[in-house]
């Protein structure tokens, strides 16, 4: 898909931005072909703006009108402790920190940094660096990340716990991961994106390949303060596989998530859930795409948000059912509570169905708090604040409970309550 349009070269803003980024992030020698193709995209197309359909509701000034630096890679940080017994790998401002991480070895896994054995993996084979300007930006400048391969038949009993911490003022970080599950293997990945109170930009692209009969679960929690998050997940599913992903955006000044799933083998199950609760001037944009390429698959999508104060949230969920994809079962739901007149929700579910024997449904609701329910709870002696708390928890519960570990669920529920009452 080409969504950006060609403009003349003297786009000063663009050259200023790319100029400063490339002087900060020069010197990456690996993945030359990918980077060249990404550069072509960056130079050929304009920075996405209102006229770019996929970026229509998301202003990119927060990222573009900023002069970003590369981190020195040695900041002292206080890692938040979410102990889930995982294999923890930590990146600070985009760079791997062996001092904060577990060993890159585990039975059934082959884990290495993207720079090692570079030309021998699937990196860049799925992403849209030729069509999407921001994906190209990541492809051109990424300088670290992990390639995680799961052996055939390996059921990995510990979750992989990735932490992407953005810390230093005015730093950008560009990371790139590959998850590759061989036949009949399974893996749970928990990715925690954390931003300090400084202005930072975190761009992470993850390409996942779920082999035959394999199962991948990804739990994503995003919490920044002044961080701008651009996170892209591409997943390709082979036959009889299962892919589940939960994205919880707790806080961040600017978030753009792109989640794209190519269902390329029959008899697959894909589930995508998300929760967001922007407040203040925050902006959260979730773009999802499920591409049903073959018959007999099902996808189940549910995104829920609470938007308040001057915040804006965007949900754009595309489901393609290609002509061959008969007997597809695709379900999509987006439900929102908009608490203030000054808050904005753009919800755009899109179903494009080219097969005739399918079951597809989508729904989008945007409403207010159920005041009758608040009254009912209060009439039983529950204080108003607690009543609203229970209802917020209830509204988001069917998303939060899809997080694969109860400790993550508790973590999010507590954070949500704190955020709703701050």
Partner 1 sequence: MLHIKDLHANIDGTEILKGLSLDIKPGEIHAIMGPNGSGKSTLASVLAGNEDYEITGGSVTFGDKDLLDLSTEDRAREGLFLAFQYPVEIPGVSNINFLRTAVNEIRQYKGEEPMSAGDFLKLVKERSALVELDGKLANRSVNEGFSGGEKKRNEVFQMAMLEPKLAILDETDSGLDIDALKIVAQGVNAMRSPERSFVVITHYQRLLDYIVPDFVHVLYKGKIVKSGSKELALELEARGYDWIKEEVSA
Q: Which residues contact partner 1 (rule: CB under 8 A)?
A: 370, 372-373, 375-384, 386-387, 390-391, 393-395, 397-398
- The length of the chain is 422
CB nearer partner 1, residue 173 or residue 333: 333
Nearest in space to 214 (alpha carbons), one of 295, 283, 268:
268
Cα–Cα distance between 393 and 144 in angstroms, integer? 37
Query: Minimum distance from CB of 332 to partner 1 (Å)?
Result: 19
Query: Minimum distance from CB of 275 to partner 1 (Å)?
Result: 13
CB nearer partner 1, residue 147 or residue 335: 335
Cα–Cα distance between 360 and 300 in angstroms, integer? 10
Query: Minimum distance from CB of 302 to partner 1 (Å)?
Result: 13
Which tokens go with 330?
């695709």
CB nearer partner 1, residue 106 or residue 369: 369
CB nearer partner 1, residue 179 or residue 391: 391
Cα–Cα distance between 355 and 21 in angstroms, integer? 45
CB nearer partner 1, residue 239 or residue 378: 378
CB nearer partner 1, residue 357 or residue 371: 371
Angle between helices 32-44 and 133-141 (to 10 degrees): 140
Cα–Cα distance between 75 and 25 in angstroms, integer? 18
Which tokens go with 257?
């998530």
Query: Minimum distance from CB of 329 to partner 1 (Å)?
Result: 23
CB nearer partner 1, residue 186 or residue 409: 409
Radius of gyration of the chain (CA): 21
Which tokens go with 160?
């992989």
Coil, helix or strand at residue 294: coil
CB nearer partner 1, residue 259 or residue 387: 387
Q: Using DSSP, how many helices (H) and how many strands (E) does the chain show?
A: 7, 20
Q: What letters, b where the CB count within 10 A reaches 16 and e where it falls short, cover 326-359?
A: ebbbbbbbbbbbbbeeebbbebebebebebeebe
Query: Minimum distance from CB of 351 to partner 1 (Å)?
Result: 25
Coil, helix or strand at residue 85: coil
Coil, helix or strand at residue 116: coil
Query: Minimum distance from CB of 252 to partner 1 (Å)?
Result: 25
Query: Minimum distance from CB of 367 to partner 1 (Å)?
Result: 13
DSSP 177: E
CB nearer partner 1, residue 210 or residue 335: 335
Query: Minimum distance from CB of 401 to partner 1 (Å)?
Result: 10
CB nearer partner 1, residue 139 or residue 337: 337
Nearest in space to 94 (alpha carbons), one of 195, 20, 198, 235:
195
Residue 355 phi, psi dihedral angles, 5° rounding: -115, 155
Query: Minimum distance from CB of 386 to partner 1 (Å)?
Result: 6
Cα–Cα distance between 274 and 287 in angstroms, integer? 11
Query: Minimum distance from CB of 396 to partner 1 (Å)?
Result: 8
């Amino acid at each position: 898909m080409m969504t950006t349009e060609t403009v003349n070269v003297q786009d000063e803003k663009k050259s200023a931005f790319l100029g400063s980024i490339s002087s900060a992030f020069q010197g990456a020698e690996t993945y030359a072909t990918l980077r060249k193709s990404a550069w072509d995209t960056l130079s050929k197309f304009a920075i996405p703006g209102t006229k770019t359909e996929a970026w229509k509701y998301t202003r990119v000034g927060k990222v573009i009108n900023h002069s970003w630096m590369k981190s020195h890679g040695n900041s002292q940080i206080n890692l938040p402790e979410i102990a889930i017994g995982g294999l923890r790998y930590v990146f600070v401002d985009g760079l791997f920190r062996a001092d904060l991480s577990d060993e890159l070895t585990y039975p059934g896994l082959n884990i290495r940094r993207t720079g090692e054995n570079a030309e021998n993996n699937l990196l860049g084979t799925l992403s849209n660096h030729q069509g999407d300007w921001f994906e190209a930006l990541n492809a051109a400048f990424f300088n670290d990340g992990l390639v995680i391969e799961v052996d055939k038949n390996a059921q990995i009993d510990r979750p992989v716990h990735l932490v992407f911490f953005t810390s230093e003022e005015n730093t950008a970080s560009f990371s790139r991961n590959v998850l590759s599950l061989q036949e009949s293997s399974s893996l749970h990945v928990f990715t925690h994106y954390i931003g300090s109170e400084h202005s930072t930009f975190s761009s992470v692209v993850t390409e996942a390949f779920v082999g035959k009969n394999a199962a991948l679960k990804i739990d994503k929690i995003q919490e920044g303060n002044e961080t701008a998050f651009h996170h892209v997940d591409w997943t390709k599913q082979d036959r009889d596989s299962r892919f589940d992903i939960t994205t919880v955006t707790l806080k961040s000044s600017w978030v753009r998530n792109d989640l794209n799933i190519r269902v390329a083998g029959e008899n697959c199950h894909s589930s995508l859930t998300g929760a967001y609760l922007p407040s203040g001037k925050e902006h959260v944009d979730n773009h999802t795409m499920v591409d049903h390429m073959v018959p007999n698959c099902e996808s189940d999508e549910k995104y829920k948000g609470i938007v308040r104060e001057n915040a804006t949230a965007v949900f754009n969920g595309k489901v393609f059912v290609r002509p061959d994809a008969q007997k597809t079962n695709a379900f999509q739901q987006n439900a929102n509570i908009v608490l203030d007149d000054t808050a904005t929700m753009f919800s755009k579910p899109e179903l494009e169905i080219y097969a005739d024997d399918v079951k597809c449904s989508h729904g989008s609701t945007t409403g207010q708090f159920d005041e009758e329910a608040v009254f009912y709870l209060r009439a039983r002696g529950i204080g108003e604040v607690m009543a609203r708390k229970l209802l917020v928890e209830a509204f988001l519960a069917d998303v939060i409970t899809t997080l694969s570990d109860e400790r993550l669920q508790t973590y999010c529920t507590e954070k949500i309550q704190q955020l709703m009452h701050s």
